[in-house]
Chains A and B, each alone.
Chain A
């Protein structure tokens, strides 16, 4: 409902600005972009922003690659930035047009997928774990067993997000392998366990926040910000950090090579690196951002949130998830496709 209201608000703000100086087309994960921040941007620059949703990196890449997508900016996860660049789908950023580029936090500046941040700007980062309604299940929630080997109380009430990289990383670590394992024994265990678990799941769906709040699901593989938003709407929802290993990720904004509103795109990129605006993104989606100085503007309830502040005992269990290559990717794609049937 909140999302529908948000979309309506966006629509209405769009009509109110029929005389806007320009447009900007943003292709982002669903329910991820702060409408307040967009409104602020639209009012400041007189640019009308149109947001289109996707629900997985692969879907987004396929749509952009098909050509003439009409989007200016896209928000892929870390490992995908290199794939967009390699395929010539994005353009190198002109840093002279981005005075706020210096605000990128040092630890997110020289990242493996984009040293010096010449191709991509940080959007949000977080972890992938388990959201569980503790009324349905009182056992240990800090484990991938929740979806890989579901306890009886949760059978038929579990959702798994449709993002291959995140789910396969959790499953591979659960089976005792590295994130991009090429070990046939590990990957066979992953496949067999996933195929055996799937009949015990209810769905493979992206929109987890409202469904956890409404108690449509008893548990789901989830991202930490979604989990926090679900908890704020329903106090029975708790977030678990799988002790077998959980994923860490960062989503980044990239500028498409065939973008038509390049100037507005630069305005937007610089705008979101303003600490106050980066904090507005976090206040909506409930993930951390990669902008130094945004802490001062962060909402109070995020500063001690168990979804955002990782408990010390699980701090070393998080592994950064990137896109695997070669044999590992072959295994993952084959298993994921089989799983979707």
Chain B
């Protein structure tokens, strides 16, 4: 490389940095800054009525796993916290599976329509986004409550003798979350199925594969990136879900998001809230790493 080329290259790098500087600055201030504050707060002492006192303490982190029994003055395993974490992971996982079961046929249906009508079907998928999530969640509550539409229909049809108690149960939460996150599963699935070469199906049948074998051995491996992308898009926001469990869980069946919020309000323990937030971040990161590893491993095998 001649000195002149070298100078041009340097100049390019310099201008690239200069051009991206605003974005980098925004990212640093808006993403890293708050995270650092959260991290610092997790090592401070809670004030009497919320906020923090600037005294170093590991109590916040202790509180993630252990409770201090106020009557016996000893540490016990915080099974309440663990239950909430476990419920969050479990509900997020079930939601992911359910959105896939409902979303895969939907995406397949749309992708196999004529190109002209596909836009119309996709358009329908986006309609729920037109209304605020809060209002849609309240609407779900209206449908599933004891004297709501669903129970009235079931009672009239004679399918149940007493109203199903759905309000404020995990079932209500699941119904709400599957409904909310379904589009996030359908769209990436559609994107991969859209690129799927339908002649491969014929090739599979020609080789005497059953419908099930074609699904399992041909379709699913090829649309795997779509499944992974959809699962990440559903699972990760589910873990931190706040509005849906807040309204459909009735303040009793909490998920991590609500539990964190509680620490900043009625719990009056900001350091614990901060420590829980970092813990959630770590769980999400681990989940993402597992997913990424799963796809890259598959590519090598494929």
**Given contacts A204-B251, A337-B266, could you give 15 more A-B pairs where the C-beta distance is less than 8 Å?**
A58-B266, A59-B265, A59-B266, A62-B50, A65-B51, A83-B49, A159-B250, A184-B71, A188-B71, A191-B71, A203-B250, A204-B250, A329-B48, A340-B254, A341-B83
Known: A202-B167, A204-B250, A340-B254. A215 touches B49 (CB 8 A): no
| CB interface residues, B 136-152, toward A, < 8 Å | 145-147
Contact between A337 and B267 (Cβ–Cβ < 8 Å)?
Answer: yes
Q: Does chain B have a CB within 8 A of A61?
A: yes
- Cβ of B124 within 8 Å of any chain A Cβ, yes or no, is no
Least distance between A291 CB and chain B CB atoms (Å): 29
| Chain A residue at smallest Cβ distance from B82 | A341
Q: Is the CB of A203 within 8 A of B251?
A: yes
A336 contacts partner chain B, Cβ-Cβ < 8 Å: yes
| A318 is an interface residue with CB less than 8 A from chain B | no
Chain A residues near B84 (CB, 8 Å)? Answer: 341
Question: How far is the CB of B131 from the nearest CB of chain A, in Å?
Answer: 13
Given contacts A156-B165, A205-B251, A214-B147, contact A338 B71 (CB under 8 A): no
Render B158-173 as a binary contact track against A, CB cut-off 8 A, 1 for contact: 0000000101100000
Tell me the complex Cα distance, A215–B146, Å: 8
Give B residues with C-beta under 8 Å from A: 48-51, 67-68, 70-71, 80-81, 83-84, 145-147, 165, 167-168, 250-252, 254, 259, 262, 264-269
Check if A216 is an interface residue, CB within 8 A of chain B: yes
Q: A61-B49, A329-B48, A341-B81 are in contact. Are A201 and B70 (CB under 8 A)?
A: no
Known: A56-B266, A216-B146, A330-B70. A202 touches B250 (CB 8 A): yes
Chain B residues, CB < 8 A from A335: 70
Cβ–Cβ contact B71 & A333, under 8 A: no
The range of chain A's interface size is: 35 or more
Q: How far is the CA of A215 from the CA of B151 in the complex (A)?
A: 13
Q: Which residue of B lies closest to A163 (CB)?
A: B266
**Chain A facing B: main interface SS:** helix
Per the 8 Å Cβ criterion, residues 316-341 of A in contact with B are: 329-331, 333-338, 340-341
Q: A341: which B residues are within 8 A, CB to CB?
A: 80-81, 83-84, 254, 259
The 4 closest A-B pairs by CB, nearest first: A203-B250, A341-B80, A204-B251, A59-B265
Residues of B near A56 (CB, < 8 A) are: 265-266
The B interface, classified by DSSP as helix, strand, loop or mixed, is loop
**A187 CB within 8 Å of chain B:** yes
Interchain CB contact under 8 A, B80 and A164: no
**In the complex, which residues of chain A have a beta carbon less than 8 angstroms from the beta carbon of B48?**
329
Within 8 A of B (CB), among A130-180: 156, 159, 162, 164
Complex formed: what's the CA distance from A123 to B106 in Å? Answer: 54
In the complex, which of the residues A59, A61, A62, A334 contacts B70, with contact meaning CB atoms closer than 8 Å? A334
Bound-state CA distance A330–B254 (Å) is: 23
CB-nearest residue of chain A to B251: A204
Look across to chain A and name the residue whose beta carbon is closest to the beta carbon of B253: A203
Contact, CB under 8 Å: B250 / A337: no
CA A335 – CA B69 in complex, angstroms?
Answer: 10
B70 touches A331 (CB 8 A): yes
Determine how close the nearest CB of chain B comes to the CB of A27; give it in whole angstroms.
14
Which A residues touch B264, using CB under 8 A? 62
Measured between beta carbons, the chain A residues less than 8 angstroms from B259 are 341
Residues on A with beta carbons closer than 8 Å to the beta carbon of B252: 198, 201-204
Q: How far is the CB of B229 from chain A (nearest CB, A)?
A: 34
A187, closest chain B residue (CB): B71
Q: How far is the CB of B250 from chain A (nearest CB, A)?
A: 3
The answer to whether B147 and A162 have CB atoms under 8 Å apart is: no
Q: Tell me the smallest distance from the CB of B205 to a CB of chain A, in Å.
A: 53
Question: Which B-chain residue is minimally distant from A60 (CB atoms)?
Answer: B265
Closest to A1 in B: B142
CA A73 to CA B270, docked complex, whole Å: 25
> Is the beta-carbon distance between B145 and A203 smaller than 8 angstroms?
no
Chain B residues in 8 Å Cβ range of A215: 146-147
**In the complex, A261→B167 CA distance in Å?**
42
For chain A, residues 186 to 218, give those with C-beta under 8 angstroms from any C-beta of chain B.
Answer: 187-188, 191, 198, 201-206, 214-216
A165 to chain B, nearest CB (A): 10
A-B contacts, 13 of them at CB < 8 A, read A56-B265, A58-B265, A58-B266, A65-B51, A83-B49, A188-B71, A191-B71, A205-B250, A206-B251, A216-B147, A336-B267, A337-B266, A341-B80
